[in-house]
Structure 1
Amino acid sequence: MRSQARSDTAPELELRRELHRRGLRYRVGLRVPGRPRRTIDIAFPARKVAVFVDGCFWHRCPVHSVPAKNNASWWAAKLDGNVARDAETSAVLESDGWLVLRVWEHEPVRTAAERVSAAWAERG
């Protein structure tokens, strides 16, 4: 699993390119307050908007998630832990006044960029 990209994934890079094209400037890898090992994929600190680009497999997409066939109990525990960590990270940020957006890797880039742009404008 160490070979799995944790940042700068293709869906994340595509979304960042589209947001930049729209004139939105962001920070990458901003640390989550109180959780030093967790970072925000795309952050707008001045407006307190946090965007996470989640992979369908690793974060249990409700549309594409399928149970692992090999070592199923280990994978179930691993992926359940990822989902729980995502929920806790969102809760920490929301309690600090952040708006948290979760984008699935299968979501069209323009659709995701529209959601992010709307949230950014709303918080301005």
Structure 2
Amino acid sequence: MKLFSVILLLFLSCNGFAQKPDEILATANGQNFTARDLAPDVQQSFANLAKTLSETRRVLLEQAISEILFEREAAARKLTVEKLVETEVKAKVPAPSDKEIKAVYDANRANVGNQTLEEIRPQIVAYLRRDPE
């Protein structure tokens, strides 16, 4: 429950840092500059900063939560996180089809030298399981 409260607090605070259009961004020679003083294309980029920051925070928060959940689950099963990922994620990734393996082999024929498809098959399978797209 404590973890949930902290996460909720962090998530709700993300929008608190957004700049308002009339908020002073800088002062030079006694003149204040706001977002409205920026060129239109710069205004758009500036407006996107808050969105980008919010999205980055969301992604980082999701990663942190995932790490915590994996650590807790691994501890409950008396496994390392790596072993848990291997048994619960990697083992469930389907083996690539012969067609997919052949397509990778054909696309990289110049890089495999004299190796036959059967000789290089284990490396292709490992590659496709690591990076299925």
TM-score in terms of structure 2 length: 0.25
More strand by share: 1
More helix by share: 2
Q: Which has the higher contact order (CA 8 A, sep 6+)?
A: 1
Structure possessing the higher radius of gyration over alpha carbons: 2
